[in-house]
Amino acid sequence: MPCNEEFQIDLEKAFKDIAKGTLRALEEDCKKIAKRQEKWDRFYLGLAQYYSQASKDPSTCVGCVLVGTDNRVHGLGYNGFPPGIEDTVERYNDRPTKLSLVVHAEVNSIISAGHLAKGGTLYVYPSFALPPICNECCKVAIASGVKTIVGFVADENDERALRWKDSIAIAKMMCDEAGINYRGLVE
């Protein structure tokens, strides 16, 4: 039985309308997810900032939070000497000595998380550049299976950014090769 002309559907137009509606709905969902993710990113960066206060380093206190794929905190770290190593003011004020003894916050958080680091996200505070991680910490992050690194967008003219410039350039290359995502938020 032939359809009445007034009830005939232009299938091509109907599919286009459905696709437009679906696309709009997907865009709305993506915006909601991005907004929710930014809320969590800021929360975990705030926790990393708080945890950085445990560092005794007089020049830079760094904190790091490792969050697993289940959105739970699995590791916390700050920059400091390993347990059992005397952390005197003299050692911290002698830069070569300090650099040879200190364990970075990122490594401490990965150690703290153990096997739960795999697939996780590192939140690092403060950031000197993007990615917010040095090449030495980046090696450990890659080896442990970390998938994402988050920090605040940094001031590129910060003295620390200039001091760590070469290391961070290597870390960027390593992250790109290993497929580690990194992002920065405006503080």
In sequence order, what are the beta bridge partners of 185?
152
pLDDT in tens, 104-142: 999 999 999 999 999 999 999 999 889 999 999 999 999
28 is known as an active-site residue: no
Q: Confidence class of residue 11 from pLDDT cuts 50, 70 and 90?
A: low
Query: In this model, does residue 3 exceed pLDDT 70?
Result: no
Whole-number Å distance between alpha carbons of 143 and 140: 5
Say which of 86, 106, 159, 187 is annotated catalytic.
Answer: 106
pLDDT > 70 in the chain, percent: 88
Closest CA to 143 of 99, 105, 101, 174: 174
Mean pLDDT of the chain: 90
Cβ pair 91, 56 in contact under 8 A: no
Residues 6+ apart with CB under 8 A from 144: 110, 113, 117, 118
Whole-number Å distance between alpha carbons of 84 and 6: 85
pLDDT, position 1:
45
Residue 48: what residue type? A
pLDDT in tens, 31-52: 887 888 999 999 999 999 999 9
